[in-house]
Amino acid sequence: MSSLKLAEFFFSRIKETIDYKQYIGEVSIDFEHDETYGNDYIRVSYMVLVNERFESINSNEKLSLFQQAPTYSFSLSTNQGRSLKKDKMLRILEFRHIYESLASYAILQFETYLDAATAIKVRGIDMWPEANYVEKYLSSVLPTVNRRGAYFDLERNVSQWSGLHQLAAASRKIYTKEKEQFSITDIEINRLFSIELNSIHNLVLGYAIPIKVKGTQTIDEIRIHTSKLVAALKKEINAEYNYNLEKHKRLIPYLYNSFLMAEKIQIINYQQSAYLKHFIIQEGDILQLKDNRIVVVNTVSIDLENEINVEYAILKTDLQAGERTRVIGTRDILFVLKKSFFQEFIAQTLVKHLSILYKWMLKRKMKFSFMPFTPDLTKDMDVSDKK
């Protein structure tokens, strides 16, 4: 019945428009999806703007013209039947088909009978996301996916459609300049990390991450600016509430390893430098090894496997450093005497002998212990990890 009544609404308005065409400056047809008190509907508006000729007629004649209602509400669901989501989807498709036919008929009539100077504005329905996503879900998603969230996903896709297209339009310049940065898609992230597409789209929209959209009537895929995605994820993992926290923490290293290797190396080098700056062993410190040898530290470094390497020279009997050096790992180190204590010993002791130093160290040396270095790609370079 709604389709028949919508057709009657169109036909009566079109006839009235043609009958009084000499008084019309513009005719416009539009529609919008709305909800009131749990009743879901599409409001169709058919508006006419009068011209100067209309102003020249008398008041009584004005009142007799354009008597038809300017709007019609096409019901999708009521507050008693909101659980019947599939019925609502079918009603959306029903509206699209009848509106498409009626709008085409209206345009044909206007172009045939209205004056050439009359402006005609009829909203097309081919870019209406509600209907396009409904058709996509009914034909491909719902037959293969049986879950309650399917309808909710559809509604979120519809709500995000316009924003994603606007963001893509705003991203055109950066896409042209940095096309190679758009190296991962929402589909890949969903497949690899089980993050819902709607959640990915919310993140992209929330942080205005540059994107490239594939698909017009429905969005089939978005390519995302990788380094800006990483920056957004780092902010997101520090948010008060993050439903996908652990997934985001796994996604960040994946992006660095797959697409941002130079940035990864830069971050790791920075974190290594910060780590070594606060490491228990520094250049000039004295070490007692597990075989009881006393050595002096030349350098401390971190290798490709994130292992700590210490280069040392053996202290001679007269406490001079030997010329030969060796590199060891942390497992060979037992105690540490800080450089300042060793300098104090040298300054205060007349007899410089290794055996005397060994005894002097007993109350001043520290047992060697440390936390291994672990790179954390979820942190920015201005965040140092003081261990």
Residues 201-250: pLDDT tens digits? 999 999 999 999 999 999 999 999 999 999 999 999 998 889 999 999 99
- The pair of structure tokens assigned to 127 is 């870019």
Position 200 pLDDT exceeds 60: yes
Model confidence pLDDT, tens digit, residues 113-150:
999 999 999 999 999 999 999 998 888 765 555 555 67
Q: Work out the angle at residue 359's Cα, subtended by the Cα atoms of residues 354 and 361, and round it to the nearest 5 degrees.
A: 90
Are the beta carbons of 358 and 294 closer than 8 angstroms? yes
Q: If you average pLDDT over residues 326-339, what whole number do you get?
A: 97
For residue range 143-175, list pLDDT tens digits in order: 555 555 677 788 899 999 999 999 999 999 999
pTM of the model: 0.79
Give the sign of the dihedral formed by CA 288, CA 289, CA 292, CA 294. negative
286 pLDDT band, cuts 50/70/90, is very high
Full set of structural domains in the chain with CATH: 2-125 (no CATH), 146-259 (no CATH), 280-367 (2.30.30)
Return the percentage of the chain with pLDDT > 70, whole number.
94
Asked if pLDDT for residue 304 goes beyond 50, the answer is yes
Summarize the confidence of residues 302-327 as an average pLDDT. Answer: 96
Average pLDDT of the residues of the chain? 92
Q: What is the DSSP string of 120-163?
A: EEE--STT-HHHHHHHHIIIIITTT---THHHHHHHHHHHHHHH
